[in-house]
């Protein structure tokens, strides 16, 4: 391997997706030799413990219908556990560092229903108290780590920088900007003003289906490559990155690896979130209730496929990109979902539904209801999620699902559906036509009814 490139970027949340996407684009850019990452985990040290002994190198295995293609990615010049806050501050204060990419999951932004930093969460109030008493003390939440990293940069006079969100959130740059500024405001209003005036929060639509690593993948890498990798990453051949930002301190030439630099990401982001992620969530709940474990199994089930097509038809009506492109996008999605070499577990996608459904499904419901229609595909997703909260299908793994879980388990199904819908959007449960449709779809999803059919 060539020597590791110099650190000029930071990544927060070195999970599998970062290593299949932003790291891949960086490694494939024509100026890859100039751009290395200091990577930090989001919370647990699992990935940094695995990668540090390998000098940050790992095997990315692209799993196409034509087989497995391994490659070693070498742009993680440094890997650190989240707890190494001093290393984070050092990297932020380095004027050569120009970009911070982030993949900290949708819940990592700690947003309240109004999109502002949710100060009702203990992790937020604890971090505000910690940073308020010492700006270099170790904080743990993503907004706090970024804000206090920026405080170190300001103190060092290191100048402008770009924070580039790569999470599945609409307007993810603005989402990041708001929570970071809210955190800074709570600790030091002058810092908040400096961030608002100096820091570029870039937005991106990110796409590459990247499941979790399995022991089988590690064995496959050993068989194909002859080395032992403690943390290889599986991914699909398809990849897309649409980015809007100013990048005042520079950036790798990601466009030479296929990224698209645009002024407005929203149309691409909507299509991806509503069609890909929306149908993923539908399959995660409805497919697992029907006994499937993976996306491939679920999309090959004609009943699930029918629900997905219905859901896509509803969402597509409200996309602004040309309809012929949307049709092609949906056809390509079917192929991607059917990829027999990608094992994407529905249980993984089912995580954090209380946050994800709000951005993946609610926008279409609102548009369809405003047009006077009851969207049956969307209602199927809501029905399946409600049944999932009541114990059917994939297990519930959602730190913020407390109110929805309480609502879902508080009585018979017809009584709980309005309450569950209200946890997604206040007032949604009063939409009697939608509630009736959700109940009809729930009856179809009941395993006994499915078996009898």
Ligand X SMILES: O=P(O)(O)OC[C@@H](O)[C@@H](O)[C@H](O)[C@H](O)CO
Residues in contact with ligand X by CB under 6 A are: 106, 168, 207-209, 276-277, 280, 349, 351
Closer CB to ligand NAD, residue 142 or residue 442? 142
Alpha-carbon span 213 to 230, nearest angstrom: 10
Q: How far is 11 from 145, CA to CA, in rounded Å?
A: 12
Nearer to ligand NAD (CB atom), residue 276 or residue 387: 276
Q: Report whether 273 contacts 357 (CB < 8 A).
A: no
Residue nearest to ligand NAD (CB): 15
Q: Which two tokens stand for residue 261?
A: 């630099």
Q: Which is nearer to ligand X, 16 or 141 (CB)?
A: 16
Q: Closest distance between ligand NAD and the C-beta of residue 291, in Å?
A: 23
- The rounded distance, in Å, linking the Cα atoms of 249 and 356 is 33
Residue carrying the six token digits 């990577």: 39
Report in angstroms the alpha-carbon separations of 62 from 23, 66, 174, 238, 259. 14, 10, 32, 9, 18
Provide the 8-state DSSP code for 370: H
Q: Which residue number, 208 or 220, has a Cβ lying nearer to ligand X?
A: 208
Q: Which does 349 bind (CB under 5 to 8 A by kind): ligand X, ligand NAD, none?
A: ligand X
Closer to ligand NAD at the Cβ: 15 or 135?
A: 15
# residues near ligand NAD by CB under 6 A = 23
User: Least distance (Å) from ligand NAD to the CB of residue 46?
Assistant: 8
CB closest to ligand X, residue no: 280
Closest distance of CB 136 from ligand X, Å: 32
Q: Least Å distance between CB 159 and ligand NAD?
A: 26
Q: What is the C-alpha separation between 88 and 32, in angstroms, rounded?
A: 22
The residue range among 9-17, 89-97, 193-201, 293-301 that interacts with ligand NAD, by the rule CB under 6 A, is: 9-17
Cα-based torsion angle of the residue sequence 125, 130, 136, 138 in order, rounded to the nearest 10 degrees: -80
Is 44 a binding residue for ligand NAD by CB under 6 A? The answer is yes
On whether the CB atoms of residues 222 and 212 are closer than 8 A, the answer is: no
Q: Is 16 in the site for ligand NAD (CB under 6 A)?
A: yes
Q: Which residues pair with 111 in a beta bridge?
A: 117
For residues 178-217, which are near ligand NAD according to CB under 6 A?
206, 208-210
Q: Which residues contact 36 (CB under 8 A, 6 or more apart)?
A: 4, 5, 6, 7, 8, 9, 75, 76, 77, 78
Q: Which stretch binds ligand NAD (CB under 6 A): 104-112, 322-330, 379-387, 404-412?
A: 104-112
Across the strands, what pairs with 200? Answer: 162
């Amino acid at each position: 391997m060539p020597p590791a490139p110099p650190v000029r970027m930071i990544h927060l949340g070195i999970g599998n997706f970062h290593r299949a996407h932003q790291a891949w684009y960086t490694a494939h850019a024509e100026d890859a030799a100039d751009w290395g990452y200091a990577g930090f985990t989001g919370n647990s040290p699992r990935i940094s413990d695995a990668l540090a002994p390998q000098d940050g190198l790992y095997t990315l295995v692209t799993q196409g219908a034509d087989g497995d293609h391994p490659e070693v990615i070498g742009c993680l010049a440094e890997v650190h556990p989240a707890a190494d806050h001093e290393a984070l501050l050092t990297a932020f204060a380095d004027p050569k560092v120009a970009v911070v990419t982030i993949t900290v999951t949708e819940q990592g932004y700690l947003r309240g229903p109004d999109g502002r930093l949710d100060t009702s969460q203990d992790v937020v109030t604890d971090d505000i108290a910690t940073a308020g008493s010492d700006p270099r003390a170790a904080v743990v939440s993503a907004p706090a780590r970024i804000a206090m990293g920026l405080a170190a940069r300001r103190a060092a006079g290191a100048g402008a920088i770009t924070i580039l969100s790569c999470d599945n959130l609409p307007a993810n740059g603005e989402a990041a900007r708001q929570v970071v500024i809210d955190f800074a405001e709570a600790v030091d209003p002058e810092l908040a003003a400096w961030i608002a005036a100096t820091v570029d929060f870039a937005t991106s639509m990110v796409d590459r289906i990247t499941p979790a690593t399995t022991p089988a993948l590690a064995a496959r890498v050993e068989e194909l490559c002859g080395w032992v990798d403690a943390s290889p990453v599986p991914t699909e051949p398809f990849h897309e990155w649409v980015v809007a930002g100013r990048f005042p301190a520079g950036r790798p030439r990601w466009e030479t690896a296929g990224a698209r630099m645009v002024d407005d990401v929203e149309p691409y982001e909507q299509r991806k979130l509503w069609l890909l992620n929306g149908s993923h969530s539908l399959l995660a709940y409805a497919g697992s209730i029907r006994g499937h474990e993976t996306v491939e199994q679920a999309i090959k089930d004609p009943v699930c496929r029918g629900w997905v097509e219905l859901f896509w038809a509803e969402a597509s009506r409200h996309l602004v990109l040309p309809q012929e492109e949307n049709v092609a996008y949906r056809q390509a999605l079917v192929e991607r979902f059917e990829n027999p070499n990608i094992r994407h577990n529905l249980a993984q996608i089912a995580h954090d539904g209380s946050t994800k459904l709000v951005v993946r499904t609610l926008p279409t419901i609102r548009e369809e209801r405003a047009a006077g229609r009851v969207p049956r595909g969307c209602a199927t997703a809501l029905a399946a999620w409600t049944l999932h909260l009541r114990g059917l299908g994939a297990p519930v793994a959602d730190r913020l699902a407390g109110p929805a879980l309480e609502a879902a388990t508080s009585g018979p199904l017809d009584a709980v559906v309005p309450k569950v819908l209200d946890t997604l959007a206040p007032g949604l449960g009063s939409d009697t036509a939608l509630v009736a449709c959700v109940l009809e779809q729930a009856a179809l999803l009941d395993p006994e009814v499915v078996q009898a059919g």
